[in-house]
Amino acid sequence: QVQLQESGPGLVRPWETLSLTCTVSGGSISSYYWTWIRQPPGKGLEWIGNIYYSGTTNYNPSFKSRVIISLDTSKDQFSLKLSSVTAADTAVYYCARMSGYTYGYAGAYYQYNGLDVWGLGTTVTVSS
Amino acid sequence: EIVLTQSPGTLSLSPGERATLSCRATQSVSSNYLAWYQQKAGQAPRLLIYGASSRATGIPDRFSGSGSGTDFTLTISRLEPEDFAVYYCQQYGSSPWTFGQGTKVEIK
């Protein structure tokens, strides 16, 4: 079955750029939305943004000026870059798949069926 | 942005009891795109319910979801020991996708 694995530095200096990669295995990166979510220590979940396999992105306005999500279909990977980080960006970062399918004429519509596959998460600490 | 408020914050119950968790949205959730997730300590969340009432693959039928518009409910008919965890609702009908703050179901 499909599995996701986050990778990247566990420690980032303040005001630098956090960079994480999610590798998709056991299935194709095509035909789904791929998502980044984070969870600060002891707190709830926060959606950062997502990317469709076509490359279309959608970001949380809370991050919009700092975040870039990209896709590398040749490697079945998608990535997160979050710039100008502060201690408030310390969190467990998860990648996840939004399940669903296209329907309608020429696949014009998408039926979303929840975030059904998650990575284990990777802890990123922002500290000097 | 749609804000989701979950209640109660903590639910103290015994195994075998029924759990009822609430999720209320500040505006109607488009297409009832409302999901429920279970998260245990140190683990990633697990999808339980999507589309407000559809069980995800492999989820036992003691978990059920209901509701529409702005009011949604997750019911666990008879709590098993492995069900004690934190539960989050999420709406994905409008951007930005948002999560509730969570309900902790603890052993009484």
Residue of B nearest to A39 (CA): B44
DSSP A89: G
Q: Give which of B2, B92, B101, B104 to mutate to test A binding, by max A Cβ within 10 Å.
A: B92
pLDDT at A5 over 80: yes
DSSP B50: E
Inter-chain CB proximity A60 and B96 less than 8 Å? yes
Inter-chain CB proximity A94 and B44 less than 8 Å? yes
Give me the pLDDT at residue B100, please. Answer: 98
Q: How does pLDDT run across A7-24, given as a tens digit for each residue?
A: 999 999 999 999 999 999
pLDDT band at B22 (very low <50, low <70, confident <90, very high): very high
Question: What is the helix (H) or strand (E) element at residue A36, kind and residue range?
Answer: strand A33-39
What's the CA gap between A18 and A122, in Å, rounded? 12
Q: How does pLDDT run across A31-48, given as a tens digit for each residue?
A: 899 999 999 999 999 999
- Look at residues B4, B55, B56 and name the one whose alpha carbon lies nearest to residue A96: B56
Q: Which residues of A touch B33 (CB under 8 A)?
A: 112
pLDDT at A102 over 90: no
What's the CA gap between B65 and B21, in Å, rounded? 10
Give me the pLDDT at residue B20, please. Answer: 98
Residue of A nearest to B44 (CA): A120
